[in-house]
Structure 1
Amino acid sequence: MKIFSNALIYLSSSILNKAIPFLMLPILTVYLSPENYGTLALCLLINNVFIAFMGMNMQVNISRFFAIESDSNLAKLIGNIILILLGTLLLIYSLIFGLLNLYEEVFSIPTYYIAYLPLLSFLMILNTLNLTILRNEGRAYLFGVIEVTSSILIMVGTIIFLVIIDMGWISQLIGMLLTYFVMSLFSIYYILTKGYCDFSFSINIIKKILNISVPMIPHVLGSLIIGLSDRIFIEKMVGLNDVGIYTVAYSFGMIIGVFCDSFIKSWSPWFYKVFPNSELDKKRMIVKYTYGYFFVIFSLAIALSYFSKFILPLVVSVEFSSASSFIIWIALGYACQGIYKIFFPYIVVFNKTKLLALITSFTAILNLIFNYIFILNYGTVGAAYSTLLSFIISSILTIFIVNKYTDLPWFNVCLKNRD
């Protein structure tokens, strides 16, 4: 079935894509101290916040309407997404210039470095829009080539600026900025030559986009809080040294996220086509795939936690060896996040992104409370406990909402139809 063949391609490209930064760990942990590595991690966190505000997860609109809109309407949709993106870029830069005059640094990062991040976010979002188009076209091979090429270019750029030019932790950001500039040029070329972009300004289309995407801002920010605020709490309550060590553990745990994302990349285009008008047999197929997905990701999380204690000493310096104690909780957290991700398309189909925003915002607030309490009582590992618990709560609430609006046969999936 094409969903599995594409998933295998996405998995292969994702493994190669994630293996490259993973293989860079020996270089980064040798040339950067845990404190500098922690600074880099916080800078990337801020970049993700900019992506949340600027991008608003607008690529979801492409997946949602790709199979049901005409080519001309789809081109207008994508064109207006890019117009919104340009507007948010200008808005954020107007705020950034004010920040530069008020503060010398934010979270131990000089503000003049932060000024580069909105541009990086803009370029990354353009690339994401193009990848979303490719995914919905079913062009898994080209998707994989772009992903892997991007990682290779980032790696080469980072090594040049870190090892040869000796520019410190900022080296990876420079490598990313140059890489995504090149990839965004290709994205613009592909989108224009394939006729996927019409810049005809339309209030109605913008309203349709924002109706789905604006609620995604608190949702994406809430997800960032759940997934990344732990490092801010560690930096404030323990120190940058522990942020660097914890981030190394995250690099291992996120392997589960790679498997989840690879399947979802293939799953969501198929789901958006099949689910809205699906017969009982199709619904049972959806349920079977979902159960199989649950089994695989949790089995992988447990296996990863076991083998990582043998692999970790081979790829990082001794300063980062204590990261092994965090990996089990982070891996399980990514598995729980994977549960939420497979239910996310249901929320989009039923246009209930506002409910999703409420769930994520509520869970994010709990996450902040959990982080403070657990880190205060258990130290750095408390952050991993907090993240796992938050993802569990988020997944349970999302499943509850989905079940309220669907009638999938979760408990009679093996029964056959009776005429």
Structure 2
Amino acid sequence: MERKQILFRDKMSVKRVLINSIWFGVIPKLSTVINVLMLPFITPYLSPEDYGVWGLISSYVGIALSVASLGLFVHLTNFYYEYKSHYNLAWSRLLYLILVASAVVAAVTFILLFFSFDNFSVGERTLLCMLAVVPILFDANGLLAKHIFPLRNKPKPLVLRNLVASLAGICSSFISIYFFRIGFYGFVIGLAVASLMNFILFIDPIWIKEKIVPKRDHSMHRIKEWISISLPAIPHALGFLFLTSSSRIVMNFYGVSINDIGIYTNGYTIGDYVNVGAAAVVTAFLPQLQLAYRQNRFNDFRKLYFFSQGISIFAIVFAVIWMPDLYRLLIRNPQFHEGIRVAQYACFANAVFPLYVFLSSVCFIEKNTKQLLWLVFVPGILNVMLCIICIPIWGYRAALFTTIFSYWTQVLIPFFVKFYNHTVKLWMPQKYQLLLLLLTLSALLVLSNMLSQINTTYKFIVSIALLGLLCNFLKNFAKYKVL
């Protein structure tokens, strides 16, 4: 391979990845920005109870979404590289299986939700359940799009369609809440509209242009083989729900007030908005990290990780410092201001997301999906157990610490699991750097929370210093001198 082809040998390659980061991560989050800017207008017409009900609905639907695809998405990237020009035939068969499985899961979810909200009338429950299962029924096209366009380094077809669908959902939510005053129903309607629009918009680029259409596979042997590989991805996906949503379900089980659940949901939602930087950079890196690992360029793989992890940390620290000010500016309902601490801890809980992406990518490449259970499912189960123990004692605030502790156990997995111990050694021979990451995050969690309480003038000074450090970090990476 020529030197000019190797990853990040010049500044132009860094520039290209940063531009893709903006397209894949920042521009799609314009809808998130609009959602945030919408908060001052809708929060006066929402209560913690509305957020509490919405938090429970989204938790149960989220669990259904994690099961609906049967984990078959794990084959998409591998089939793209393995089948090359004929990948669309394999993807068509996967699409058919995903659509069928989604319909079955949607039907089961409808029944479960119908009997879960027995405090509503039959008509209200029927309408609520019909709207709630729409994202489950129409997730398949978006799932394929999330893989094909990053693999081809074509962000625009993915980003612009997702943006249009998201904006349609936001408008629906805003109209429902601001004008019709229907509370949490507005969130459910918005998600349903966005999901349906997303499915429709990707019919042309995927079904027509890429010729990926639902195609029944008559080979049961092949279907069983695919599912046997993909099934471990289901508990993997469930693990994310156990990490993010189990706390709300446990709260409801223990009779924690719906208002406290609403405050927690509001804070966690705001905290999730902050992870734009990490998601953007890692998404832009997906083709590069795939090629780097497949071509045994482990040094490049390591440098990609350090870069994305560094960007994530900068974004999180900056957001946590300014979180109280953001709440006062955006959340025009004092009842929600207790969620500031939740939002700050939610930011740091997701600080190890880049590490997860790089570790899980190796599992997908090696087709050793059973190892995914260690990454998220085990921490997820740990979070559920800790929530069951701690929430009855300390209430919803206990979930802040159980969640962040459970997320951060991912850093320790390469020290105890043979598979990750071996693969991490390939691209990070000095594993103590992971322990250094854990210590750094712990120190920054305390420091940034302290800085969030200082005078606004001093916050500006600290922010300028952070931007200076970020510019220096980017400059060093452009010279191929990472850390």
Q: Name the TM-score, length of structure 2 as normaliser.
A: 0.77
Are 2:365 and 1:349 equivalent residues in the alignment? Answer: yes
Asked if 1 retains the 8 angstrom alpha-carbon contact of 2:282 and 2:308, the reply is: no
Instruction: Give the gaps of 5 or more residues in structure 2.
Output: 1-12, 434-476
Residues 135 and 168 of structure 1: is their aligned pair in 2 closer, same or farther, counting only changes over 3 Å? same
Report the Cα distance in structure 2 between the residues aligned to 1:25 and 1:86, rounded to whole angstroms.
Answer: 34
Are 2:321 and 1:303 equivalent residues in the alignment? Answer: no
Asked if 1 retains the 8 angstrom alpha-carbon contact of 2:70 and 2:230, the reply is: yes
TM-fit CA distance, 1:90: 3.5
User: Helix, strand or coil for the counterpart of 1:7?
Assistant: helix
> What's the counterpart of residue 8 of structure 1?
22
Give the aligned residue type for 1:6: N
Q: Which structure 2 residues correspond to residues 373-392 of structure 1 after superposition, within 5 A?
A: 373-392=389-408
Residues 107 and 88 of structure 1: is their aligned pair in 2 closer, same or farther, counting only changes over 3 Å? farther
Are 2:137 and 1:122 equivalent residues in the alignment? Answer: yes
Report the Cα distance in structure 1 between the residues aligned to 2:276 and 2:310, rounded to whole angstroms.
Answer: 16
**Residue 64 (structure 1) aligned to one of 62, 68, 78:** 78
Q: Which structure 2 residues correspond to residues 208-223 of structure 1 after superposition, within 5 A?
A: 208-223=225-240
> What's the counterpart of residue 247 of structure 1?
265
Report the Cα distance in structure 2 between the residues aligned to 1:180 and 1:318, rounded to whole angstroms.
Answer: 32
**Residue 259 (structure 1) aligned to one of 277, 289, 294:** 277
Are 2:419 and 1:404 equivalent residues in the alignment? Answer: no
Q: Which structure 2 residues correspond to residues 117-266 of structure 1 after superposition, within 5 A?
A: 117-197=132-212, 199-201=215-217, 202-203=219-220, 205-235=222-252, 236-266=254-284
Give the aligned residue type for 1:218: P
Report the Cα distance in structure 2 between the residues aligned to 1:373 and 1:95, rounded to whole angstroms.
Answer: 30
Asked if 2 retains the 8 angstrom alpha-carbon contact of 1:42 and 1:107, the reply is: no
1:27-72: CA deviation from partner (whole Å, max 9, x where unpaired):
3422121101111121112221111111234333222332332332
User: Helix, strand or coil for the counterpart of 2:245?
Assistant: helix
Report the Cα distance in structure 2 between the residues aligned to 1:341 and 1:106, rounded to whole angstroms.
Answer: 41
Report the Cα distance in structure 2 between the residues aligned to 1:36 and 1:208, rounded to whole angstroms.
Answer: 44
TM-fit CA distance, 1:326: 2.1
1:250-270: CA deviation from partner (whole Å, max 9, x where unpaired):
133213432222122122222
Q: Which structure 2 residues correspond to residues 310-325 of structure 1 after superposition, within 5 A?
A: 310-316=325-331, 317-325=333-341
TM-fit CA distance, 1:208: 4.7
Asked if 1 retains the 8 angstrom alpha-carbon contact of 2:42 and 2:178, the reply is: no
Report the Cα distance in structure 2 between the residues aligned to 1:307 and 1:219, rounded to whole angstroms.
Answer: 33
Q: Which moved more, 1:292-301 or 1:302-311?
A: 292-301
> What's the counterpart of residue 104 of structure 2?
91
Residues 247 and 362 of structure 1: is their aligned pair in 2 closer, same or farther, counting only changes over 3 Å? same
Asked if 2 retains the 8 angstrom alpha-carbon contact of 1:302 and 1:328, the reply is: no
Percent identity reads 19
> What's the counterpart of residue 91 of structure 2?
78
Residues 125 and 24 of structure 1: is their aligned pair in 2 closer, same or farther, counting only changes over 3 Å? farther
Residues 136 and 100 of structure 1: is their aligned pair in 2 closer, same or farther, counting only changes over 3 Å? closer
Structure with more relative contact order (C-alpha pairs < 8 Å, separation 6 or more): 1
Residues 134 and 304 of structure 1: is their aligned pair in 2 closer, same or farther, counting only changes over 3 Å? same
TM-fit CA distance, 1:219: 0.9
Are 2:39 and 1:25 equivalent residues in the alignment? Answer: yes
Asked if 1 retains the 8 angstrom alpha-carbon contact of 2:46 and 2:183, the reply is: yes
Residues 100 and 223 of structure 1: is their aligned pair in 2 closer, same or farther, counting only changes over 3 Å? closer
Residues 344 and 28 of structure 1: is their aligned pair in 2 closer, same or farther, counting only changes over 3 Å? farther
Report the Cα distance in structure 1 between the residues aligned to 2:107 and 2:23, rounded to whole angstroms.
Answer: 41
TM-fit CA distance, 1:308: 0.7
TM-fit CA distance, 1:115: 4.2
Report the Cα distance in structure 1 between the residues aligned to 2:291 and 2:109, rounded to whole angstroms.
Answer: 41
> What's the counterpart of residue 271 of structure 1?
289
> What's the counterpart of residue 355 of structure 2?
339
Report the Cα distance in structure 1 between the residues aligned to 2:197 and 2:78, rounded to whole angstroms.
Answer: 28
Report the Cα distance in structure 1 between the residues aligned to 2:43 and 2:248, rounded to whole angstroms.
Answer: 17
Q: Which structure 2 residues correspond to residues 39-54 of structure 1 after superposition, within 5 A?
A: 39-54=53-68
TM-fit CA distance, 1:118: 3.0
User: Helix, strand or coil for the counterpart of 1:354?
Assistant: helix
1:198-236: CA deviation from partner (whole Å, max 9, x where unpaired):
515144553453233211111111221111111223333
TM-fit CA distance, 1:378: 3.1
Report the Cα distance in structure 2 between the residues aligned to 1:334 and 1:100, rounded to whole angstroms.
Answer: 29
Asked if 2 retains the 8 angstrom alpha-carbon contact of 1:43 and 1:114, the reply is: no
Report the Cα distance in structure 1 between the residues aligned to 2:424 and 2:341, rounded to whole angstroms.
Answer: 40
TM-fit CA distance, 1:410: 2.0
**Residue 384 (structure 2) aligned to one of 368, 373, 389:** 368
Report the Cα distance in structure 1 between the residues aligned to 2:121 and 2:204, rounded to whole angstroms.
Answer: 38
Report the Cα distance in structure 1 between the residues aligned to 2:163 and 2:157, rounded to whole angstroms.
Answer: 10
User: Helix, strand or coil for the counterpart of 1:70?
Assistant: helix
Residues 100 and 158 of structure 1: is their aligned pair in 2 closer, same or farther, counting only changes over 3 Å? closer
List 4+ stretches of structure 1 deviating above 6 A.
Answer: 106-110
Report the Cα distance in structure 2 between the residues aligned to 1:197 and 1:142, rounded to whole angstroms.
Answer: 16
User: Helix, strand or coil for the counterpart of 1:6?
Assistant: helix
CA RMSD of aligned residues (A): 2.9
Asked if 1 retains the 8 angstrom alpha-carbon contact of 2:64 and 2:106, the reply is: no
Instruction: Give the gaps of 5 or more residues in structure 1.
Output: none
Give the aligned residue type for 1:368: V
> What's the counterpart of residue 393 of structure 1?
409
Residues 64 and 125 of structure 1: is their aligned pair in 2 closer, same or farther, counting only changes over 3 Å? same
Asked if 2 retains the 8 angstrom alpha-carbon contact of 1:127 and 1:187, the reply is: yes
